[in-house]
Structure 1
Amino acid sequence: MTPSPSPLRDLLDRAGTTGAVYAALAGVLVIGSLFVAFQGSHLFTAANTVDLFTRGSLLGFLAIGQTLVILCRSLDLSVGYVAALSTMVSAIVMAGDPSRIVLGIGATLGLAALIGLVNGLVVTRLRVNPFITTLGTGLLIKGYLDTRFQGPAGSIPAEFQTFGLSRIGVLPVSTLVMLALAVLAILFLRRTRMGFHMYAVGGDSEVARLSGIRPEIPVITAHVLCSMTAGIAGLLLASRFGTGNTLVYNNGYELEAIAAVVLGGTYLLGGRGGVAGTVAGVFILATLDTVFNTLSVDPFVKDVLRGAIVIAAVAVYARGRHGRTSVRPRFTSGGAPPAPPPPPPPTATPSARGGDR
C-alpha cells in the first residue's frame, strides 16, 4: 500500500518546479527583511530596491542566454569575456557620438553572435566538449583584451547611458528590458518549433535525431543567442561605466549565471527547466547580495554564504524531484491489484491416427 503524500509534497507537486522557486524567492525576501529588521534597518527602502533590481538586470541577461544553452545539454563559460569585449566594442564604435549608437549596438551584437556561432560549430561539428570549447574561447578573448588594451577605452554618449542609469520610480529601465527579453524567451521556448527542438535535444539527442530533428541546429542556435544576451549585458555595463572596461571578466559572471539557472530549476543535464524559473533564481541571488550589503557582511564570508545557500537549495530541489519520481503508486485506482487475465483455452491438437483418418 503506497503511503499518501504529505500536504507540503502535494503542494509542491501542484505548483511545479517554477512555483517552488518563486515560493523560495518569497521566503528569501521575508527572511532577509527580518534579518535586516533585527539590525534596525529596512530592506525595502528605495535605495535597496533599486540596488536589487539593478543587480538582477545584469545577471538576468546572462542567465537567460545560459538557460537556452543548458536546456540543450551544453554550457557557455565565455559569457563574462564576451560581455567584457562587448563593452570595448560598443564604446569604441560609438565614440561618444549619438549618431553612432545604432552602429555600436549592431557591431556589438553582431560580433557576439559570431562568437556564439563559432562556439556552436566547434561543439557540434568538431565534437569538442562545450566546457573546453567555451573556456578556450573565453581565454582567447581575455588574451586579446589584455594585449590590445591597457585600460578603459572609447566613450558612450549620454543618450545611451540612460539604458543603464535611468529608471521609472524604483524600477530601472534595464530591468524592464531584461523582463521583456525573458518574456520573449519564454514564448520562444513554448511556442516555436526551435524551442521544442531545444528541449528534445537536451532530453535525448539520439531520440531527437530519430524523430527527424537535426541536433546540431538547436545547439548552435542556443550558443548564438547566449552570446548575444552576453553582448546585451556588455552594452548595459558600458552604459553604466560610460566607457569600455576590460576588467569585467574578473567578476565571475559566467559562474553566477549558471548558479542562477540551476537555482531556477533548470536541469544541468538538459531537457527540463525554463526561463521563468531562471528569473526567480536571478532575483534570489540579487536579494542575497542586497541583504549581505545592507548587513555589511565581509565579501569573503558573503561568497561562502552564497555558495552554501545555492548548494543547499539545489540539493533540496534534487532530493524532492528524486522522491517524486522514485516512489510511484503501483495501482493507481487503490485497493486490491487487478486479477490476472485468464489463461487462453487449450487448443486440441489432432492425433496422428486421427489425422490419418
Structure 2
Amino acid sequence: MSIDILPAGRARRGFRDVPVPVVVIALAAIIYVTAAVITGQTNQISFAGLTGLLQRTVALGLVGLGQTFAILVGSIDLSVAALISTVAVLASYLMQGDPGMIVPAIAACLALALCVGAINGGLVAYWGINPLIATLSTGLILQGVLSAGFTYLGGRVAPEYQALAYQGLFGVPLPVLLLAVLALVAWFVLAKTRFGAHLYAVGGNPDGAKLAGLRVERFVLAAHIIASLGACVAGLYLAARLQSGTPWIGRDGIYDLESIAIVVIGGTALSGGKGGVIGTIAGVLLFASLDASFNMFGVDAFLKQVLRGAIVIAAVAVYAVRNKGHVA
C-alpha cells in the first residue's frame, strides 16, 4: 500500500481545472482539422485558410465582445441585431459613395449606438426593467423605424471605405486585425483596470458592490453602451463588406442569439461576474470551425442550424457538469 503525498500548496489537476477557453479552442481545432482531413481539404489547414476562417466570423466576434460586457454585469442585449442593420443602412445612406462623408457617417453611427446603449442601460439600471424585455423592445423599435424609413433609401459606401473589409496588412486581413486589436483592448479593460474589476464585482454580487460604495447603475449603463458600440462596429464592417447597407443584415437571430451563445460557451456566466474576452474569442473560433466543417461536408443550411443548436446545448451541458460542485 502506498500513500501519494503531494507537496503543500499543490493539488491534483484534472479536467475541471483546465480553463474553459483552452477546452473550447482545443475542441475547435480538433473539429476543423478532422473535417479537413476526412474531406481531403487539407489545404484549409494553412495560414490563408485560417485567416479566411477568421474573417468570416469577424462581425460575430465584434458583437460578442460587446455582449461580454453586458453579460458580465448580469444583463443581456437583444437589440444588437437590429442595431447592426440600422448602422449599416445609415452609413451607406450618409456616404452615398462620397469619401468625404466617411468620417461624418461613422460619427453618426457611433452617436446612434451611444443613444441606443444609453436607453438600454437606463431602462435596465434605473427603471428596473428586465434586460430581455428592455433590449428586445429597443430592437423592435429599431426594426420598425428601419422598415418604415431606411428600407426605401438608397445608398452605397465609398470605394475607399471598402478597404476595411477587403484589404490586409502583412498578409492578414484588416477585419481580423480589427477584431484582434479590439479584443486586446477589451481584455485589458476587464483584466487590468479598476473599471473592469468593478464590472466583475457588480455582476458577481450587486448588493455587495452597493455596500462597497459602487454606483451599480452606472456600471450597468456603461456595459450596455459598450455592447451597443460593439454592434455598431460590426454594422460598419458589414456595410464595407457588402458595399451597401441592407435592412436584413442582422435578422434571423444570427447576431443577437449567437453572440450570447459564444459568450456563454466561452465560460462567461449568464448570472454575471465570471468569464471574459478570451472565452468569447474561443467561442468565436468554435463557431467558425463548425461553419467551416459544415461547408466542407456540404451540410444543408437548415441542418446546420439544428447541429449548431445541439452543439451549443451539449457544450453548455458539459460546462455545467464540469463545474458541478465547484464554487464559482
TM-score surpassing 0.5? yes
1:58 paired residue number: 59
Which of these two proteins has the greater Rg computed from alpha carbons? 1
Deviations 1:131-165 (A, max 9, x none): 00000000001111111133573111111101111
Structure 1 residue 14 displacement after superposition:
4.9
C-alpha displacement of 1:4? 10
Q: Which residue of structure 1 lines up, in the alignment, with residue 324 of structure 2?
A: 322
Letter in 2 for 1:209: K
What CA distance in whole angstroms lies between the structure 2 residues aligned with 1:95 and 1:317?
Answer: 47
Amino acid at match of 1:26: A
Seen in structure 2, the aligned counterparts of structure 1 residues 24 and 125 have a Cα distance that, compared at 3 Å, is closer
Could you tell me how far apart the structure 2 residues matched to 1:256 and 1:152 are? 29
Q: What TM-score results when the alignment is normalised by the length of structure 1?
A: 0.84
Question: Which amino acid in the other structure matches residue 259 of structure 1?
Answer: A
For residue 134 of structure 1, what is the aligned residue in structure 2?
135
For 2:31, the equivalent position in structure 1 comes to 31
Measured in 1, the distance between the counterparts of 2:244 and 2:202 equals: 40
Query: Partners of 1:196 and 1:67 in 2: how far apart?
Result: 14
Residue 322 of structure 1 and its aligned partner are, at CA, apart by 1.5
Q: Is the 8 A contact 2:16 2:323 kept in 1?
A: no
Moved over 6 A (4+): none
Distance between the aligned counterparts of 1:251 and 1:47, measured in 2?
A: 29
Asked if 2 retains the 8 angstrom alpha-carbon contact of 1:153 and 1:245, the reply is no
Q: Is residue 144 of structure 1 aligned with residue 151 of structure 2?
A: no
Runs (5+) with no aligned partner, structure 2: 7-11
CA distance in 2, matches of 1:4, 1:147: 71
Most deviating of 28-37 and 97-106: 28-37
User: 1:319, CA displacement in angstroms?
Assistant: 1.1
> Relative to 1, partners in 2 of residues 1:14 and 1:319: Cα closer, same or farther, differing over 3 Å?
closer
Report the equivalent of 2:299: 297
Amino acid at match of 1:174: P
Q: CA deviation at 1:321?
A: 1.2
Offset at residue 249 of structure 1 (A): 2.4
Specify the SS of the correspondent of 1:247: coil
Measure, in 2, the Cα distance between the counterparts of 1:179 and 1:148.
35
Count of equivalent residues:
319
For structure 1, the residue ranges without an aligned partner over 5 or more in a row are: 327-357
- Relative contact order (alpha carbons < 8 A, sep ≥ 6): 1 or 2 greater? 2
Give the Cα separation in 2 of the matches to 1:137 and 1:306.
27
- Identity fraction in percent: 40
Question: Following superposition of structure 1 onto structure 2, how do residues 157-236 of structure 1 map, counting pairs within 5 Å?
Answer: 157-168=158-169, 171-236=172-237
| Offset at residue 108 of structure 1 (A) | 0.7
Distance 1:4 1:278 in 2: 38
After superposition, the CA RMSD in angstroms is 2.2
**Paired AA for residue 299 in structure 2:** V
**Cα-to-partner distance string for 1:272-312 (whole Å, 9 max, x where unaligned):** 00011111111110111111112110111111111111111
